Amino acid sequence: MLHTTTAPVTAVVIPYVFLPPKNGGHQAGYSLCSALGKKIPTVCISSFGNAHVGYNFQLEFAFGKGMFKYFSPLAAWRCFRIMKASRVRHCIAQQPFIVPLLLPLLALSGISMLVYAHNIEYRRFRSMNKWWWCIVWLVEFVVYRLARQVLFISPEERIAAIAEFGLDPVKCIDVPYGIDRKTPPLASEQQAARKEIAAAHGFPEAEHWLLFFGPQNYEPNLDAVLFIARHLAPLLKAQTKNPYRILICGGSLPPVYQNLEAYRQYHVDYLGFVEDIDRYVLASDLVLNPILKGAGVKTKVLEAIALGKTVVSTESGAFGIQKDVCGQQLVVVADHDTPAFANAVLNHLDVDKERTPVEFYDYYYRDNVVNRLLPILQKT
């Protein structure tokens, strides 16, 4: 995309492979770069291994694999050369852990630093009982206080960070996760997806399909899958005669669980990794989000609502989502209340589905989201 030569260049540093996007974190990075690329000159500095196809932003490579990239002088030198050649004026770090490597070169180059705090990371690790959460807290404390601006994915995260890290509220702004749809899907899209999934797996279209998706090598997702299989599915079978099927997508389920074969009697089908999860979301009747651990906004909820689906979620799973713009598409149940979760699912199986409100797209559409950043990034 063409931009005026006098417009300041912004670098977005994403130190891992994220293209093509395969999860919510990857999609967040791509959405940010793509939306910025429509508005201002944008260069993304990322890892070797990203798919290099036509983007509306410049893609450069500086980082290798493994943890050493966060300490690599070679990666720092590559970043410095890319930023100097591109005449970068502002730098957005996609995570706080790469900032210590970037700080000296940004200071040397006079480049302003912004940090996109998707979640308060130390909380996520603490909720999973990881001993290193205190180290993560220290990194976040130092990085957020040194940054010119800190971008938070929700008001809840921003308010908590200001209190916990002693941040200046003036430099903290909300930049929610950006979805790539600006209107609800057509009924024909959903019908076509349903026929496609039914044909691919031999599922009767007359069934109700309940969907959970998310990679199971992430502990909160694995816990959610086990909750569904061991507790929710038996309860649903005991309480309804309506035909239904629970679809579990995401992949990386540990072999010890044998693809959940023991739970097929409760209408649980483990599908593993699927190439186009949006087709499964479009085809489903409800999306389940019984997340109890982790921190921050669960992007799968936003993606599902953007695709016109009702999501039944725990309170923890709905943290940080602006519920007032979700209409009837987000049903929130108290944590650890399995009977209430099952009732919420059954109560929403046969009701006429509401359309996702236009206010949801106004708030979360990625082009609208980055408009909040333009007054900062257009400064020379």
1 domain-assigned: no
Q: Do 197 and 166 share a structural domain?
A: no
**Do residue 168 and residue 229 come from a single domain?**
no
Residue 299's nearest CA partner among 369, 358, 351, 226 is 369
CA distances from 327 to 211, 311, 359 (A): 20, 11, 9
3-state helix, strand, coil in the chain (%, to 5): 50, 20, 35
**How many structural domains comprise the chain?**
2
- Within 10 angstroms of residue 146's Cβ, the number of other Cβ atoms is 15
Rounded Cα distance between 161 and 308, Å, is: 32
Strand order in the sheet with 149-152: 58-63, 42-47, 9-13, 88-93, 112-117, 149-152, 172-174
Do residue 206 and residue 154 come from a single domain? no
Question: Distance between CA 175 and CA 117 in Å, rounded?
Answer: 9
Q: Is 4 a domain residue? A: no
Domain identity same for 172 and 208: no
For residues 357 and 302, the answer to whether their CB atoms sit within 8 Å is: no
* Within a domain: 155: yes
Residue 123 and residue 130: Cα distance in Å, rounded? Answer: 10
Tokens of 37: 């690329």
Q: How far apart are the first and last CA of the chain?
A: 20
Residues 15 and 62 both lie in one domain: yes
Is 302 found in the same domain as 339?
yes
Co-location of 247 and 358 in the same domain: yes
60 is a domain residue: yes
Integer Cα distance of 339 and 196 in angstroms: 33
**Is 3 part of a structural domain of the chain?**
no
CATH number of the domain that 216 lies in? 3.40.50.2000
- 280 and 370 housed in the same domain: no
* pLDDT of res. 379: 82
Looking at the structure, tell me whether residues 213 and 359 fall in a common domain. Answer: yes
What is the secondary structure of 153-220 as a DSSP string? SSHHHHHHHHHHHT--GGGEEE-PPPBS-SSPPPHHHHHHHHHHHHHHHT--TTSEEEEEES-TTSHH
Does 91 fall in a domain? yes
- Please give the Cα distance from 377 to 69 (Å, whole number): 27
CA–CA dist 114, 4 (Å, integer): 23
Smallest Cα–Cα separation from 116: which of 334, 379, 377, 380? 377
Q: Which residues of 243-268 are buried (b: 16+ CB within 10 A; e: fewer)?
A: ebbbbbbbbebeeebeebeebeebbb
Contact assessment for residue 260 and residue 270, using Cβ atoms and an 8 Å cutoff: yes
Cα 319 from chain centre: 13
Question: Half-sphere exposure (CA, 13 Å, Cβ side) for 204?
Answer: 8
Q: Do 153 and 199 sit in the same domain of this protein?
A: no
Q: Are both 212 and 133 inside the same structural domain?
A: no
The answer to the question of residue 2 being in a domain is no
DSSP summary character for residue 356: P
| Angle at the Cα of 162 from the Cα atoms of 296 and 105, rounded to 5 degrees | 85
In order along its 380 residues, the chain shows pLDDT tens digits of 545 446 799 999 999 999 998 888 898 999 999 999 999 999 999 999 999 888 999 999 999 999 999 999 999 999 999 999 999 999 999 989 999 999 999 999 999 999 998 889 899 889 888 999 999 999 999 999 999 999 999 999 999 999 999 999 999 999 999 999 999 999 999 999 999 999 999 999 999 999 999 999 989 999 999 999 999 999 999 999 999 999 999 999 999 999 999 999 999 999 999 989 999 999 999 999 999 986 667 899 999 999 999 999 999 999 999 999 999 999 999 999 999 999 999 999 877 778 999 999 999 999 999 999 999 998 86
In a domain, 44, yes or no: yes
Residues 209 and 170 in one domain: no
**Structural domain of residue 21, as residue ranges?**
9-178+365-377
Residue 213 pairs in a beta bridge with 249
User: Given the structure tokens 């399909």, which residue do they identify?
Assistant: 209
Vertex 322, ends 25 and 227: CA angle to 5°?
60
Please work out, in degrees rounded to the nearest 5, the angle formed at the alpha carbon of residue 300 by the alpha carbons of 183 and 307: 25
- DSSP 8-state class, residue 365: B
